[in-house]
Structure 1
């Protein structure tokens, strides 16, 4: 048996969109189950996101601390952001987010992992990149507002982040997946064996 996720779509009898927000919406589908029953499935429709685990030469990751209102916590996270434009190249979006949130650029980019954040209730897909060869970005810093105006920026050793994840002190999904994927890649075929930055992403197809 091949352990691999595969595309599939069950019959949808009816679709409604009871809520439309600025970036996301809520959809209700009437889905036909294998036994023939028709049930409602509510879920958030999301444009998709990118995140960046950016490593410097001292094996420290660029992280930021930001207030997240739904969970009422300040979370340590890696730079991340929405795919604002349909079909946007995720690498370009990741480079933009690293510049805007950390004022950093990187020479080497790889794909660490592609994940669905909460597939039982949201169709958000996230591509997590590994960025190496860091240097200070050129030009003015990006103007921040709202939650980002209170954001803290730091560089934290990877080993310390791993300990924080396993201790239950760090909860942001992109940070958790990114850091543990990095450790797994290092113990496996190595970072240079990771997928290239422009690898296909069926969950959010894009133009090169």
Structure 2
């Protein structure tokens, strides 16, 4: 790799990152639930100095871009307590069933949150949305050839999900909503831009 001709940094010819890690001297569990664990880690830098870091360790998750035959994407709108408001998102959820593969979780979440079944699945990308403090990984999928879950087989939604609204939005309009700030959820922004780009 060579230096940039006039700015700090190196020019990339083939992408490779340094995988050296900073060892963990100590790790204490500050909180644990079925959904996540929070640890306070002490890491050691190359200069042998110790640094405290809080790490949120949730279960892996999935998200689903459900597209109908006319290029509309399903967005769910629900109240999100951490932000204190309703948020537009793609259907999503945590991998909390032992032994379930990511696509199986995605199909289950699509059925539970949107009453939809997809005949065709495509894995898009796996992202780490908050690398500064979280180990969370979210695998994103595109789901097409949609049909509805039979009414007798639908999940009874609870808590915030019971108040969920469902909107079919043209993909181009959904992308505009990502870029103008109407959609702020990271997994949704990444998933929609990935589908639009692909």
Give me the TM-score of the superposition, normalised by structure 1: 0.84
Tell me how large the CA RMSD over aligned residues is. Answer: 1.5
Distance 1:170 1:55, change over 3 A: same
What per-residue deviation string (whole Å, max 9, x for no partner) do you get for residues 7-32 of structure 1?
55321111100111341121011111
Find the partner of 2:120 among 92, 108, 113.
Answer: 108
Is 1:151 the counterpart of 2:158? The answer is no
Counting matched residue pairs gives 185
What residue is the counterpart of 2:180 in the other structure?
Answer: 167
Report which stretch shifted further, 22-31 or 79-88.
Answer: 79-88
Alignment partners' CA distance in 1, 2:82 and 2:115: 27
Give ranges in structure 1 of 5+ residues lacking alignment: 186-208
What residue is the counterpart of 1:47 in the other structure?
Answer: 59
Mapping of residues 129-140 of structure 1, within 5 Å = 129-138=141-150, 139-140=152-153
Alignment partners' CA distance in 1, 2:69 and 2:84: 34
Distance 1:181 1:140, change over 3 A: same
What per-residue deviation string (whole Å, max 9, x for no partner) do you get for residues 26-79 of structure 1?
101111111111111111111110000010001011111010000112001100
Offset of residue 87 of structure 1: 4.8
Report which stretch shifted further, 121-130 or 7-16.
Answer: 7-16
Larger radius of gyration: 2
Give me the TM-score of the superposition, normalised by structure 2: 0.88
Give ranges in structure 2 of 5+ residues lacking alignment: 1-12
